[in-house]
Structure 1
Amino acid sequence: MTDSPETNGAPAPTTTPSDPAVSAVPSVPARVGVLGGGRMGAGIAHAFLIQGADVLVVERDEAAAAAARERVESSTAKSLERGVLDGNLDEILQRFTVSVDQADFADRDLAVEAVPEDWELKVSSLKAVEAHLGPEAVLASNTSSLSVTGLSAELIRPERFLGLHFFNPVPASTLIEVVIGAQTAPELVEAARGWTAGLGKTPVVVNDAPGFASSRLGVAIALEAMRMVEEGVASAEDIDNAMVLGYKHPTGPLRTTDIVGLDVRLGIAEYLASTLGDRFDPPQILRDKVAQGHLGRKTGHGFFDWT
Structure 2
Amino acid sequence: MTGKPALVHRHGEDVRVRVADTGVELLRYVYRAEAAWEAPKPYIHPLRTLAGRIVTDYRPNDHRWHKGLQMTASHLSGQNLWGGNSYVHGEGYQPLPERVGSMAHAGFDEISAREDGVTLAERLTWHPYTGELWADEVRRVEVHDIDPAAGSWALTWSSAVTNRRTEPLRFGSPATHGRAGAGYTGLFWRGPRAFRGGRVFSADGEGPGLMGRQSDWLAYTGEHDGFDGHATVVMAHAPENDHTGAHGEHPAHWFVRNDSYAGMAPSFAFHEELVLDPGRTLTRRYRVLVADGAWDRDRIEEALGRTAW
Structure 2-normalised TM-score? Answer: 0.25
Give 1 or 2: higher strand fraction: 2
Structure 1-normalised TM-score? Answer: 0.25
Larger Rg: 1
